A and B are shown apart, each in its own frame.
Chain A
Amino acid sequence: MSKKILIVDDEPNIVLSVEFLMKRSGHDVVTATDGQQALDLLAEVDPDLMILDVMMPRKNGFEVCTEVRADQRFQKLPILILSAKGREAEVKKGLSLGADAYITKPFSTHELVEKVSELLQLKD
């Protein structure tokens, strides 16, 4: 079943890989290269899941996470943080700000795909 995934990351190469992965799993993909752009796109795209980087220009992933959760419409939107910030404290911070899963870079593509489908199932 095709879902809409919003990928937010300022690294084009990682976006390419993740986009390829998601498309191969049969999902539609929209990409954004910074936090602000992601927030702007959100209402228009209305994704089923968001894959979010943390260190980005304009607005970082933590800020985006907080703002998304503050919006009534997107309180149920699954957010998966995919970040190079891998310290335990940062993982905890991400999860407590409302992310549903936190995967640190480098990651296994299988794990990412599995986690995405798991989150999508939970949502349904």
Chain B
Amino acid sequence: MVEKWSLRFRVFLFFALISLMVPALLGSALWVAAGRIGPESIPHLVLWGGGAGFAIIGVVLWVWLKFDENVVAPINTLTNDLQTLIHANPEHGVETEPGKYLGLLAPTAREMAAALESARKKVGEEVEVATRKLDQQRARLETMLRDLNEGVLVCNMNHQILLYNRRALDILHYYGEIGLGRSLTSLLNTPSIAHGLENLTGQLEAPESADGLSAHVVCSTTDGRHIIEGQLSLILDAEETEATGYVVTFDDATEKLSELRKRDRMLRDAIEGLRAPVANLCAATEMLTDGVNIDDDGRKMFENILSAESRALSKRLEKLSGDYGEIITGHWPMSDVYSSTLLNCVVRRFESDDAIQCMINGDPVWLHCDSLSIVELTERIIRRIAETTSAMTFELEPSFKKDKIYIDISWPGDVIRSGTLDSWLDESFDDCLKDMTGRDILENHKAVVWSEGREEGVACLRLPLPKAKGDHRNVSDKMPGMDPRPEFYDFDLLKNRESKSFDERSLRELTYVVFDTETTGMEPSNGDEIIQLAGVRIVNGRVMSGEYFDQLVNPGRRIPVTSTKIHHITEDMVKDKPPITEILPKFHDYVGDAVLVAHNAAFDMKFLELKKASCGIGFDNPVLDTALLSAYIHDHSNQHTLDVLAERFGVEIEPQYRHTALGDSIATAEVFLRMIDLMVARGIHTFANAIEVSEKMVEIRRQQARY
């Protein structure tokens, strides 16, 4: 109880006690003296004793005032400075004027601060070196994950997602960000994963199993539309005795499974379907060749059977070979390739060749093929054409027509006869393609090739290939390595948390969404509207830079010039943007069950509150306000604007981002994270504690407003 009182209050109580004790002691001393001397002394004793008493109280009060001003207040400020220095901003100086009676305390504190700073700098440099190394590894991991052709999901044993890569989103056909910490069950039907985990943890407990803790899993997305197939592996703790999480690497098996089903069905149909006609043929043939007692009619009948069944059999074979063609192409490993990458490979094959020159024309396109075999085939064909027609210059041009990508090879000279072309296709490749022929390669791509005349004296060979399966519209004009590296992972979620009630959860482990709004004005009740809404997510004490929410909103009204001056958002910028009724539900999804944090939260919450009816979306999440928390933490100051806080905590807001909803959200989030450290240092550990001090601050503000 006493520890919770401020230092000033405690010192005040101490002096108050002295000033109460003085008249009490003096009074009782005079009372005893009056008894000894006699009643005639009472008026003198009262007069002089009372006078002395008041004088002493006066002196005590004067000493208290001086003490408060010159000792207690500087100590308070010094404490705040030191705490900020220790917990939040190492650059924060010790500003205290040397209190008159503090002697060397302030200078000593300053020296200590300097010593601390230099020690920190040294540690900081070492940390920086280590961090750089870690960053490199991290970048490598991120690149690897990003470019991996398989989806990767890492979860803790509560199925919370700790890591994922882009490919995982693609395979699951999930648009937007999955959200770290979200449950895997919202994406996949997990019984087969749960079963796999059960098996693996069982193996872990059995002493004979050492490694190879992985299992094959097949499961479907929650909407049941896609099937994934992959490998499930456990992540073990340092002692390798307990599983802390698991990794699923997976691929889309929807197509593969349907191909397999098709193949199975085809094989079954082939075998069963062929049995009957073959049986008929055999039976009829045996009758005819046995032919002991067979008359002409009988012979005729069996001959008819023979010819009918042979026809039926060839028809069935025809159909089978068609089905088979579809299936082999389904299984050949192919990927999306950019035509310029592919054709440049071909051109490089002729670089050392003085005689033949190849060049690429036309706009590059994406296609779907096995690039090695197509490059080999193209090279082979060009060399053969050169030998046959003695053409030396070749032009390669990709083009898109219907649903095929045509690779056209043209040269000055004669058209190649199809018989010649066929003979080239029958030649097999040796080393790299293991006895494949050109025909095999074409078949794998469901392709044919032919030669035709282009214009006067120019012949051309056309090779139609499948078009790309993925959508590369955005990727093609981006430079490699240009895409931002969003944070797709948070391994701290690996630590299993017991389920504590929300109030008792530590401030450091909660998930927050720090948000900010830009508005047409300051009065939501008088028709001012939101024009920009942004938020950032904090998971496990880190701002998730890959999961920003940032939206301009059409307010459906004019934007006053005065407000445009602050946020630089003009009517032109928002006229094509969705209205708040569309944005707010999205923001609601983004927030989920996180704690909302804002600077002067009451203002932003008021805007959200007023949209409850029209959007049908209410926010009943718990809310923390950085302005209120700052008033508690820095009670010696009455400056709590975002700019002041950012400066105090050493958070830099780039000027162009100041007063954008996203910029302010990021700054508020960074400030908030540093505040958590300060609050923890002051014994505010849990969410309930933070709410308690916030309420206290609201009460104080309310009282201040009253006077």
Contacts and interface: CB of A to CB of B under 8 A. Distances in A.
Interface of A: 11, 13-14, 16-18, 20-21, 24, 55, 84-86, 104-110
Contact of A104 (B275, B281, B287, B290): B275
B293 A24 contact: yes
B654 interface: no
A17 B302 contact: yes
A22 to B, nearest CB: 12
Contact of A17 (B273, B287, B293, B308): B287
Contacts of B219: none
Contact of A13 (B271, B293, B309): B309
Contact of B287 (A85, A105, A107, A109): A109
B308 to A, nearest CB: 7
Interface in B501-534: none
Given A24-B293, A109-B286, A109-B290, A16 B279 contact: no
A18 B283 contact: yes
The 9 A-B residue pairs with the shortest CB-CB distance, nearest first, are: A105-B279, A84-B275, A17-B283, A106-B279, A109-B286, A105-B275, A106-B282, A106-B278, A13-B280
A20 B287 contact: yes
B134 interface: no
B58 interface: no
Nearest to A103: B279
A27 to B, nearest CB: 14
Given A13-B284, A17-B284, A84 B290 contact: no
Nearest to B271: A86
B305 A108 contact: no
B272 A17 contact: no
**Interface size class for chain B?**
20 to 34
Given A13-B309, A17-B287, A20-B298, A85 B280 contact: no
A2 to B, nearest CB: 16
A18 B279 CA distance: 11
Contacts of A107: 279, 282-283
A32 to B, nearest CB: 17
Given A17-B305, A84-B275, A106-B283, 8 more contacts: A11-B280, A13-B309, A14-B280, A20-B302, A105-B275, A106-B279, A109-B283, A109-B287
A106 B278 CA distance: 6
B308 A13 contact: yes
Contacts of A85: 272
Contacts of A55: 272
A15 B99 CA distance: 118
A108 B272 CA distance: 17
B468 to A, nearest CB: 42
A87 to B, nearest CB: 9
Nearest to B301: A16
Contacts of B279: 14, 84, 105-107
B276 interface: yes
Contacts of B271: 86
A85 B298 CA distance: 29
Contacts of A84: 272-273, 275-276, 279
A14 B293 contact: no
Contact of A21 (B275, B276, B281, B287): B287
